[in-house]
Chain A
């Protein structure tokens, strides 16, 4: 029986879709059977980031309206052994779907997959309620900006209301040099306000934009910092304890040595 994890944030543009794509892909790289579900009906993006846009035949709404079977709507990502994708509809809007519909779909996916990653739309209205309906756990994505943290806080409250306990936090687009100079909220500050477990910190990385544009999740390119961060996050989801990566970007032989010894 698989586990359904919703990736949400409240605020738009903080990296929900990027995080969903990368976490899903990283879990697939680690040998898990993963299904990505895009619930952002009318504004789907996950297919583009994954580079699967041109392979969509049926979508979520087709499944709900029984135009096709669930298995027919799933798009297999051929780059990986066991990565599937259930796209959202682009021609409908969010009212075409009810929370119970999504719940039913997630429940019927669970026996066949280890992880079901649900990409949530921005906002806290119907789309959010749909996405959250079938989830067992939640990952809240926030950037270290006050507006984003405020919305994340609101969403955490709503998740508690929806009976999803202990959501985990990903702090995205971190710029270590700005944090150091005090121009950006630092990680401790964000954690102090949100008061939930930190799942990972993802540095701001140009590679993410680049790979998003060519439809290739960043984790596939292990040289980028963001890729390493997402791989670590995936391992933490599996229960490994992986220390937070050194964001200072100091290379140097000494730092490398420290890293090898596990004290860096």
Chain B
């Protein structure tokens, strides 16, 4: 009874804490500017099913795709087991679903195989990061916390799977001993090999089984609450992020409606623009970005596929699209914390541009869309870079000198080079 109450309290506390943090993140995302991503619901749904559920963009790199698939499918399916653990924990039952008979054995057997493949995949991931030191996982933005974060996640998953398998092994041994409360249920294709390393006394086995059971469920609850602080948040946000992703051709950049009004008024003095709220052009800080950009930042799992295909980064420039996303998340988190501590009106005098992302980074981008194409969850770092450029150019007139010269030429000669408009048709005369 005490165990059941403890279980209930722990579960409720974990869910409550997670809800509080999740709501804060949703509030932070809503600090972004509006963006219409409600159109074409069917196409959006299909995109989500294909890219997030179907992992279609992972297959470009087969080895991590294969390993990630095991971890993903393991996560989704082993969670059915969590449902049983929840019911058992609340009602003091043991393996409540064993009434399913053959199906139950099949399920438990499958979970064990999946748990094993998750275990192995995570171990290989750890080796790739820490021993093989793959280039994709390094970079200026991958020091300290982001580096540890990745390792914590992998180690936690290995521990959770170990506890699950050890729990089953102890359970299986108790079933063999005919211990009361331990009904004959389940198939143990993996944990049967662990039986021999366990003690043989019934009381010791019960301690092992119960410890692993508690470790497993407390681990899951703790992991749930780790998500909001971690890159691992993608396991939840990948779904809305792909649903609300851009459906238009990647080459198309949004036309700023506020500018359209001004340009129309300049070309036609009789034009009366519709009322729009005065705001700044482009983005200096995260709150000038759209909510989609901010959701992108929370979704990023820092895999570095974007950076590894970025022509600027490949050739040694400072720009890293992954860093753009990580900076955006760090800054919106900071803005959120400021609101929690000092109220909504507080200004800390910092901004995304300059305090997090430098001018050198934004001016290194070729707008080639390789980063957008590479992202397995449809994140768009390019849009953030363009918004920062818009601010630098339109609010501050702070573009590199040669860019200013190019724009001056367009204004004066209608071409980015210094040629006379009268000579535009000369190509037809020569041959």
Q: Do A and B come from one complex?
A: no
Residues in chain B within 8 A of chain A (CB atoms) = none
